[in-house]
Amino acid sequence: MSVVRLAILSLLVVPALAFGQAKEDEADKVSNDRPDRPLQMPPASSEVKEAFDDFERFRRRNAWERALKALFTIPEAQALRFVDGQDGFIIPVAQNRRAVLAGLSPEGQAAYRLFYDDDAKKLLEKAEGPAELKTLERLYSEYFLTTVGDTAADRLGDLHFEMGRFDRAADCWLAVLRDYPDTDLSPALLSVKAALALRRAGRAGEIEPLRRDLADRYADEKVTIGGRTAPAAEFLKPVLSASGTGLDPAATPSAPPGAAAVSASASEPDLKLAEAVPADWQMRFGESVVAGMTPQERTQWDSNRLSGAVPAVTVEGTTLYANYLGYVFALDLETGKLLWRSGAFHNLDVPAAQDQARMLDPARFAILASKEHVWTLSRDLVDPNQMSPFRLTCRRTDGGDVVWQSTNLPDYAQLDLFGTPILANETVYVVAKPPMNYRPDQTHQYVLAVRASDGKLRWKTEIGTLRQGQRYYYYGLPDDSPQPRLIQRGGSLYVDTHIGVLARLDAESGELEWGYGYKTDPVESSGRFFFFGMMPPSDSTSSSTPLRSGEALFVKGAKSERLYALDTDRRKMLWDRPIAKSARLVGANDRMLFLGGPELSALDLRTRTLLWATRVPGGSSESRVLVRPGGIWQLTARGIFELDPDSGRVRRIFRGDDTGSDGGDLYVSGRHLVAVSNRTIAAYPIEASPAGGPARVDEGPTKKTRTTDD
Amino acid sequence: MTKSNSAVRIKGSRFKVVGIVALAAILGAGSRPARAQFFGSPGASTAPVGNIEGFTVSGKGTVLGKPNRLEIDLEVSASSELSADAIVKYRDTKKRLQEAFAALKLDNVTVEERGLLVDQKGVQINPYFFDAQPNRRSKAEVQLTRRLVVKCSEIRKLDEEALLQLVAKLLDVAQDAGGKVTGGQNNFNPYYYYDYSNRSSTGLVRFILDDYDKLEDEAYAKAVADAEARAQRLARLSHVKLGPVTAVREAASPGSAPTGAGMNARSGHDDDSTAKRLESSRYQEIPVQVELVVRFDVSANPPGNGRTGD
């Protein structure tokens, strides 16, 4: 009897457990279609998803004709919309279709060729002239496994290479090598071409497997490239010598100048501050702001978050350019002399008295510079419209005259530029969204490529739709939305939206290639009442710029509780790990990943364990930390702290000339360490001497410091 | 039932009522002298009532003593999604603080640990949060918090300048090592009404007097003398002779009650609860206060000796 009861109980309980697990997995899964995710990449229609489901169903039954027909019902207009791929990647329909076809069994492939070879051959014949690229792309996507698919991929690779899209060219050739084993094309030639494209794209990590394959199988095979015929290995030699360092001028990762993340490179010289040395010069802009304020105004200013703003700074040649809450100025790095400025800082006391200025996030002010121009992202503090958008302004470096600004150009109408822009190949890349008071049904997020010289929009690509919706702010509550970050590498542009998606775009065309959906906080309700002001303050941390170490690109969303290591070239997630939401990326070397937040800490990249954590005064949540092979430096309210990267031990505290500030950012330029706080910009001379020894504290004298008081 | 019967019954019940009232009166009268045997409530110690067998007076004694020790409260706190990370952060922060103080090589400085609080961070329900509710899916992070007390002894021999230098050094070391110095000024924000309870200033540094046994003896002696003087005066004015002490009660003793502005006679935080100490948020002499309530017997003056209390 008891056995029967036990059996009945088991039958009742086991399904319940199974249901529970399924629900848990479902809740944990990251999908582009989940309604609670803050950003949705342009989704494919439900018919497309049904087509993939139908294909899978018929494939299992070996009903090949119906299975393949289902795939070919997908309209071409949907090819660049997005569906969930493997490992959390969100990929275009065309890529997913090709991946599905590449996974066909031999039987399926035979059926596929039987049904579609003729169509593919006809299309290939038409691939000439202006329609060549589009036709080849269609062949590559829809007919890759037909008998002409390899030829189409090879030709498409050539086209992409000529157009400078090295990433795509490499992908085309690698697709033939990996997914088309019975190709009649020369594997040696394809390997060499792929290696060349990979090198140009900065994907050095993928060249070594190609080299091994060539050495093992096609070492003596002769190939002809650019009219020159030589053994394949000969062509690879220059590629390998350059890829050994992984550094190619066109492929060097480009991080925004104002970004907090810094990659440690072994080629950088060690940084050593001289003992107790005064600053060579110091620009005390903070004193100019508060000069003449009444005690009441001073109290108001000190309680305003604008008073904690650290200017965005960039260095070009021997000139330092700064954007202090929209006031742009240039300093001579050698003397500290003020070269020009766009306005007097003491005017800041006016916006400090206005509530709408309190709502600004000072971290949104940004600056970029080239030899001729300086670009700033800012807005007018006295603008009574609290929701007015930020504008991009281009000025001449020699006097600060305005060349153009986005508010005067129709392309930027109804766009609010945000995040830290980057400059590459005479193009400014910046993220945009509709202004806060725009129609809630049109809240798309874009990446813009702007011609740097005249502000003309080169392309504008939609990353996705913001599900966050309209957010209202009352009574001077600040906008704390995370700022997106951009990096450029090879021919690709990566944007970490910090709302759950890392997206990769083609830097030249702006085409959205894929996205990676990571776990993040779900959408919040749209209204914010003033009662929020009484909430206990949470640890706020600035957005991290994605960091690369070896083949891994590290991503940590500002609202995410996980750290991800992605192989962006092979589109794989290498690993992920839980991490405090307050953590951010500040630097990396080949062994460790350095994290900021309430404390500075180091993560072992091999074991993925936290090696050490050191709390410096004021924490490490926002300021720009210098990470170099010889040490880690951070400007705090109590001076510049130097830490041993291996142990986290504080080696030295250099008080400097600006104790009592809120801390800020550090930059190295020539023989100066430039410390930028919310009150001053100071340049300390750097001397070379060995690091190590016990922790020391140098009380920096201030008597000899030359000051620039406005 | 006849009329006479009911009259008898009414009469009988009247007798019963009278008997109960009489009994209550006797019991009440008997209890008055008994209550007078005891001191009044502590709050009424300055005006003893109902003592008909002597004088009950209070005597106070105060002796001032310089603090011999100072304390600084630090907080070590770490949180993370992974408990293992929180432990590394917490352990490293605590270690660096302890190493920083050890590096001072001051024999009279020690760092003591208080209880470890294992809590969660990230899930907070706020009653003022009318709109969006806290995210149900956001995970709570493990938070480890421990209070450290930096103790510096033998400060009595330091002059004020040297003491200031020492305090500055300790505070600097604590902050440079990433310690969060707790206490200090709580700026009151009139708009944040929930903050009413949190606006007293405790100071960053606590000055302690805990070697006051001798001072305590002096304070007791002064309190007894004060009580006796008061009783003598009462006896003299009342024309009775002061007898021996019949009872003594401690109304206040060192460490049991507030000892003045800016001072706190709490018996210490957490693990210090059993320690005997006086503390002040200011660097000044700390009063060792004793208050006694003393009852003296009295007797009538001898006939030929006048009616004075002498």
Q: pLDDT (tens digit, 9 = 90+) per residue, B162-198? A: 999 999 999 999 989 988 888 755 444 444 444 444 4
Runs of H (alpha helix) within A468-558: none
**A628, β-bridge pairs:** A631
Residues of chain A found within 8 Å of residue B176, distances taken between Cβ atoms = 617, 638, 650, 653, 697
CA distances B197 to A532, B192, B193, B261, B279, Å, are 20, 11, 9, 18, 21
Q: Which residues of A465-498 are buried (b: 16+ CB within 10 A; e: fewer)?
A: bbbbeeeebeebbeeebbbbbbbbbbbbbbbbbb
Nearest beta carbon to residue B129 from set A535, A615, A638: A535
Residues of chain B found within 8 Å of residue A469, distances taken between Cβ atoms = none
Cβ contacts from A onto B, under 8 A: 101
Residues of chain A found within 8 Å of residue B124, distances taken between Cβ atoms = 535-536
Kindly identify which residue of chain B lies nearest to residue A697, measuring between CA atoms.
B176
Nearest beta carbon to residue A534 from set B103, B137, B192: B192
Which residues are within 8 A (CB) of B132 and not within 5 positions of it... i.e. 6 or more apart? Answer: A524, A525, A527, A528
| Most A-contacting residue of B76, B89, B93 (CB-CB within 10 A), to test interface | B89
Residues of chain B found within 8 Å of residue A528, distances taken between Cβ atoms = 131-132
Q: How confident is the model at residue B304 (pLDDT cuts 50, 70, 90)?
A: low
Position B190 scores a pLDDT of 45
Average pLDDT of the residues in B49-68: 82
Considering only CA atoms, which of A212, A216, A218, A217 is closest in space to residue A230?
A218
Per-chain mean pLDDT for chain A = 82
B187 touches chain A (CB under 8 A): no
Question: Rounded to a whole number, what is the largest CA-CA distance in chain B?
Answer: 106
Which of A608-612, B39-43, B226-230, B239-243 has the lowest average pLDDT? Answer: B39-43
Considering only CA atoms, which of A402, A403, A283, A385 is closest in space to residue A332?
A283
d(CA A344, CA A338): 12
Residue type at B254? Answer: P
Position A281 scores a pLDDT of 92
Position A533 scores a pLDDT of 44
HEC-encoded secondary structure of A62-99: CCHHHHHHHHCCCCHHHCCCEEECHHHEEEEHHHHHHH
- The C-alpha torsion from A125 through A126 and A129 to A132, rounded to 10°, is -90
Position A682 scores a pLDDT of 93
Q: Which residues of B56-81 are buried (b: 16+ CB within 10 A; e: fewer)?
A: bbbbbbbbebebbbbbbbbbbbbbbb
Position A443 scores a pLDDT of 82
A562 close to A521: Cβ distance less than 8 angstroms: no
Interface of A with B (CB under 8 A): 27, 521-522, 524-525, 527-529, 531-532, 534-536, 561, 577-581, 598-599, 601, 609-617, 638, 648-650, 653, 694-695, 697
**Residue length of chain A:** 710
Average pLDDT of the residues in A327-333: 94
Å from B105 to nearest chain A CA? 14
Put simply, the answer to whether B124 touches A536 (Cβ < 8 Å) is: yes
Nearest beta carbon to residue B175 from set A528, A578, A617: A617
Å from B125 to nearest chain A CA? 10
Which of A173-182, A477-486, A672-681, B216-225 has the lowest average pLDDT? Answer: A477-486
More confident of the two residues B139 and B111: B111
B185 touches chain A (CB under 8 A): no
Kindly identify which residue of chain B lies nearest to residue A601, measuring between CA atoms.
B89
d(CA B224, CA B216): 12
Which residues are within 8 A (CB) of B12 and not within 5 positions of it... i.e. 6 or more apart? Answer: none
Put simply, the answer to whether A580 touches B84 (Cβ < 8 Å) is: no
Considering only CA atoms, which of A182, A179, A154 is closest in space to residue A168?
A154
Q: Mapping DSSP to helix (H, G, I), strand (E, B) and coil, where does residue A329 land?
A: strand
Average pLDDT of the residues in A205-214: 81
Q: List the structure tokens of B271.
A: 């693990």
B82 touches chain A (CB under 8 A): yes
Put simply, the answer to whether B89 touches A610 (Cβ < 8 Å) is: yes
Residues of chain B found within 8 Å of residue A527, distances taken between Cβ atoms = 131-132
- φ/ψ of residue B279, rounded to 5: -140, 160
Beta strands A222-225; A82-84: pairing state:
unpaired
B80 touches chain A (CB under 8 A): yes
Q: Mapping DSSP to helix (H, G, I), strand (E, B) and coil, where does residue A280 land?
A: coil
Å from B264 to nearest chain A CA? 29
Asked whether the CA dihedral A613, A618, A620, A625 is positive or negative, the reply is negative
Q: List the structure tokens of B99.
A: 């190493």
Put simply, the answer to whether B96 touches A615 (Cβ < 8 Å) is: yes
Position A53 scores a pLDDT of 93
Å from B261 to nearest chain A CA? 29
Instruction: Say if residue A250's pLDDT is above 60.
Output: no
Which residues are within 8 A (CB) of B13 and not within 5 positions of it... i.e. 6 or more apart? Answer: none
Which burial class, exposed, middle or buried, applies to A163 when counting CB atoms under 10 A from its CB (0-12, 13-18, 19+)? middle
d(CA B205, CA B104): 18
Put simply, the answer to whether A534 touches B131 (Cβ < 8 Å) is: no
Nearest beta carbon to residue A615 from set B82, B130, B178: B178
Instruction: Say if residue A387's pLDDT is above 60.
Output: yes
Which of A345-349, A429-433, A531-535 has the lowest average pLDDT? Answer: A531-535
Q: Taking the mean position of all CA atoms in its chain, how far away is CA A292?
A: 42
Put simply, the answer to whether A617 touches B138 (Cβ < 8 Å) is: no
B188 touches chain A (CB under 8 A): no
Residues of chain B found within 8 Å of residue A561, distances taken between Cβ atoms = 81, 138-139
- The C-alpha torsion from B279 through B281 and B282 to B286, rounded to 10°, is -20
B44 close to B293: Cβ distance less than 8 angstroms: no
Å from B82 to nearest chain A CA? 6
Position B34 scores a pLDDT of 41
Put simply, the answer to whether A531 touches B141 (Cβ < 8 Å) is: no
Instruction: Say if residue B261's pLDDT is above 70.
Output: no
d(CA A260, CA A544): 7
Average pLDDT of the residues in A300-306: 83
Residue the block writes with tokens 């002796």: B63
Which of A25-39, A599-613, B258-272 has the lowest average pLDDT? Answer: B258-272
Put simply, the answer to whether B96 touches A638 (Cβ < 8 Å) is: no
Put simply, the answer to whether B135 touches A528 (Cβ < 8 Å) is: no
Instruction: Say if residue B134's pLDDT is above 70.
Output: no
B130 touches chain A (CB under 8 A): yes
pLDDT digits over A497-525, tens only? Answer: 999 999 999 888 898 999 999 999 887 65
Q: List the structure tokens of B16.
A: 């019963």
Q: Taking the mean position of all CA atoms in its chain, how far away is CA A561?
A: 18
Instruction: Say if residue B265's pLDDT is above 90.
Output: no
> Which B positions 11-70 lie with beta carbon below 8 A of chain A?
none
Which of A16-20, A102-106, A171-175, A272-276 has the lowest average pLDDT? Answer: A16-20
Q: Which residues of A373-405 are buried (b: 16+ CB within 10 A; e: fewer)?
A: bbbbbbbebeeeebebbbbbbbbebeebeebbb
Instruction: Say if residue A540's pLDDT is above 50.
Output: yes
Å from A612 to nearest chain B CA? 7
Which burial class, exposed, middle or buried, applies to A500 when counting CB atoms under 10 A from its CB (0-12, 13-18, 19+)? buried
Per-chain mean pLDDT for chain B = 74
Put simply, the answer to whether A580 touches B93 (Cβ < 8 Å) is: no
Put simply, the answer to whether B177 touches A650 (Cβ < 8 Å) is: yes
Put simply, the answer to whether A535 touches B194 (Cβ < 8 Å) is: no
Å from B149 to nearest chain A CA? 18
Nearest beta carbon to residue A531 from set B82, B96, B129: B129
Residues of chain A found within 8 Å of residue B178, distances taken between Cβ atoms = 599, 614-617
Q: How confident is the model at residue A164 (pLDDT cuts 50, 70, 90)?
A: confident
Put simply, the answer to whether A697 touches B176 (Cβ < 8 Å) is: yes
pLDDT digits over A135-161, tens only? Answer: 998 898 888 889 999 999 999 999 988
Nearest beta carbon to residue B176 from set A524, A529, A638: A638
Nearest beta carbon to residue B139 from set A528, A532, A561: A561
Nearest beta carbon to residue A580 from set B79, B137, B177: B79
